Structure 1
Amino acid sequence: MEGFGKFFQRDKTFRPKKKFEPGTMRYQLHKKAQASLQAGLDLKAIVQLPAEEDLNDWVAVHVVDFFNRINLIYGTVCEFCDDTTCPTMSGGPRYEYMWCDGVKYKKPTPVPANKYISLLMEWIEQHINDETLFPINVDVPFPKNFIPVCKKILTRLFRVFVHVYIHHFDKMVEIGAEAHVNTCYKHFYYFVTSYKLVDQRELEPLKEMTERICK
């Protein structure tokens, strides 16, 4: 994953980056995960839970990391993704995603892709900044709904991959970022499938590509 920032730190991120506080246990886990990535180790191996670590902590670290990385990836193509080019949040003609947050959008509502992704990043940010859901102090237990919420976050983040791969991948190829996006996708795919965090039906839109690159 080394060089990821070379392509994606272009002041085009959708939202400010979420960081872990240095000195915290989760920060150490985050650094451990980053070091494994940069060392070019087997992606299937590095998603495995380190010995004596808590699964919830491991999931929390990865949810935040994937939020940041996917945010950066979409940021590079967002100027090509507007109401005209992408009037719906779709992944080709067979898949369309509607937005529902139970607050402002009480029913599934069709919105343009850029609006969907903006609402999604805002919604995720609210969740990961909620200390009752993502506790900062190691003495504070994770709530019972932590994994179900993370499943929803990761399922919706997967949809950003679907949209970018199907509608904007040519732009990624143009800037020479194809390998980096593929690596990020593989890391995401191995993680969510290892811990059954995204339903197989949700993974269908990218099934053929996944079979090709995630061997």
Structure 2
Amino acid sequence: MSFFNSISRSMTRAQRAPKRATTPTSATFSPTEVAPPNNIPPSVAAPAIPKPLYLSSPFVEAALVKGNFKTIVMLPKYVDIMEWVAMNIFDFYTNLNEFYGVIAECCTQQSCSTMSAGHTLSYTWINHERKSVHLPAPTYIDYVMTWIQNLLNDEATFPTKAGHDFPQSFPSTVKHVYRQLLRVFAHIYHSHFHQILHLRSEPHFNSLFAHFLSFGREYELLEVKDVKGSASSPVAVGQLWEKWRDMGILEG
């Protein structure tokens, strides 16, 4: 099912009851479309990077949902695709927001001075002067989650009343939302997975992320390059996506 090919279809659907989660203070910047990698110094003999815990057994296998996620992301019969995507975007946002809220005290300006998502990758933000700036991870995530919250509260973007249709720009908007949510997932895996383990929440977090990846690939909200990054600046969770694909949890 191609989400972007469905835009020409009727967008009429049943009323969706308004439901919003809480987020931090309002952001004044806009999220970037593409995150340029950090400048990488000339080649030197680098020490071996230890294998991340989230790629190690038994943590990589920990999940609440067993089997392939394909079955739970398929469009239900008689459900409009726009409504289905909107509902899932809201659920992914709400659940991720709650997970981050639990580990937020460990994500500080000092411990996470950049929005890192890999050993050579830090995402940047476009400020009001249209310049790319590096921000501490908690500030970046605050801006992302507030920006998404504002979109969810915008009746013109995420309509909740019967008779109000989704805008023609909805597919491109949610694709941008999805990319930003991926960055929050990537930072948590890269910098805070040990805290997830300490809380014994890795089955819940893994299942949420696998569901997020499967849904994004099914409805063309995520591209492989978003998940894997570039050769010089790979996204840390790209290896996790490949591992789960090899395990049959996700499809290519």
| Normalised-by-shorter TM-score class | 0.7 to 0.9
Task: Classify 1:190/1:122 alpha carbon distance in 2 versus 1 (closer, same or farther; 3 Å).
Answer: same
Give 1:106 deviation, angstroms. 3.0
Task: Classify 1:52/1:154 alpha carbon distance in 2 versus 1 (closer, same or farther; 3 Å).
Answer: same
TM-score, normalisation: structure 1: 0.78
CA distance in 1, matches of 2:219, 2:156: 23
The AA in structure 1 aligned to 2:203 is A
Identity between Structure 1 and Structure 2 (%): 32
Aligned to 1:26: 16
Task: Classify 1:40/1:136 alpha carbon distance in 2 versus 1 (closer, same or farther; 3 Å).
Answer: farther
User: Are 2:78 and 1:88 equivalent residues in the alignment?
Assistant: no
- The answer to whether the 8 A contact 1:98-1:109 is kept is yes
Q: CA RMSD in A?
A: 2.1
Listed one character per residue, the Cα deviations across residues 113-137 of structure 1 (whole Å, up to 9, x for unaligned) are: 0000001111001111100111112
CA distance in 2, matches of 1:41, 1:159: 25
Aligned to 1:157: 181
Residues paired across the two proteins, number:
181
- The answer to whether the 8 A contact 1:135-1:141 is kept is yes
2:209 is aligned, of 170, 182, 185, to 185
CA distance in 2, matches of 1:117, 1:96: 13
The AA in structure 1 aligned to 2:215 is F
TM-score, normalisation: structure 2: 0.67
CA distance in 2, matches of 1:25, 1:141: 10
Give 1:42 deviation, angstroms. 5.4
CA distance in 2, matches of 1:77, 1:152: 25
CA distance in 2, matches of 1:208, 1:131: 38
Higher relative contact order (CA 8 A, sep 6+): 2
Give 1:60 deviation, angstroms. 0.4
Listed one character per residue, the Cα deviations across residues 40-87 of structure 1 (whole Å, up to 9, x for unaligned) are: 785321110111211110010011111101101111211111111110
CA distance in 1, matches of 2:202, 2:65: 19
Structure 1: runs of 5 or more not aligned? 1-23, 28-37
User: Are 2:43 and 1:43 equivalent residues in the alignment?
Assistant: no
The AA in structure 2 aligned to 1:123 is W
Aligned to 1:70: 96
Task: Classify 1:109/1:78 alpha carbon distance in 2 versus 1 (closer, same or farther; 3 Å).
Answer: same
Rg larger in structure: 2
Secondary structure (helix, strand or coil) at the match of 1:90 reads: strand
Q: How do residues 129-208 of structure 1 correspond to structure 2 at under 5 angstroms?
A: 129-204=153-228, 205=235, 206-208=237-239
- The answer to whether the 8 A contact 2:65-2:207 is kept is no
